[in-house]
Amino acid sequence: MKAPSLKTGILTVGATGVLGILYVISSALVSSTHGPLDSYAVGAMSKFRTVPEAPEQPRNTLITGEGEEITLADMRGKILLVNFWATWCAPCVVEMPYLNDLQGAYGSDEFEVVTISMDRRIEEPQAFFEEHDLEHLNFYFDPGMSIAFGVMGSANRGLPLTILYDRNGVEIGRVAGEAEWNSPDAYALIEAALERY
């Protein structure tokens, strides 16, 4: 068997190096923030990211705790922090009280935390809300269990996923994974969004 030539070896190493550089560049573009609230991606909010060419806000129908059908577009005019969660998702369960505290602190005509359950049956998240006394959060359920998949993108393939939208339904940024939403860092991010958007 003929050994590879020096020229072939150099070309192989060169091609591998170029692919490696392209991977690093593309990873940096996906994971780095580019928005006006970049400076708030610290501490408890260190996972906050702006997504280049973010997907449009979902138009799927949601079911409220009163059984009404609405969409996120019906809430335009206020800053929305939309959290996709499920009772079978351990990190989701951990952060629900934090989101409840955030809604208690900032919930108003200007801001709302919208937690959308991705459970299979509506009874499971309803029971969870009652059991954990999430008195500040409104209940929202996705009957098609598909609303989150349209906004996840290739970089995010799990729950929880939380997206911050401006008053016109345009994505400001997102946090993939669990976060301490009742922390000073989270409060600073929300205050900045309320002031800027």
Instruction: Tell me the CA end-to-end span of the chain in Å, nearest whole number.
Output: 67
- Check residue 159 and report its DSSP letter: S
Q: What is the pLDDT of residue 153?
A: 67
Report strand pairing: 62-64 vs 79-85: unpaired
Which burial class, exposed, middle or buried, applies to 47 when counting CB atoms under 10 A from its CB (0-12, 13-18, 19+)? Answer: middle
Q: How many CB atoms lie within 10 A of CB 170?
A: 11
Give 117-147 pLDDT, tens digit per residue: 999 999 999 999 999 999 999 999 999 988 8
Which residues of the chain are under the pLDDT cut of 70? 1-34, 153-157
pTM, entire model: 0.82
User: How far apart (Å, rounded) are the C-alpha atoms in residues 152 and 89?
Assistant: 16
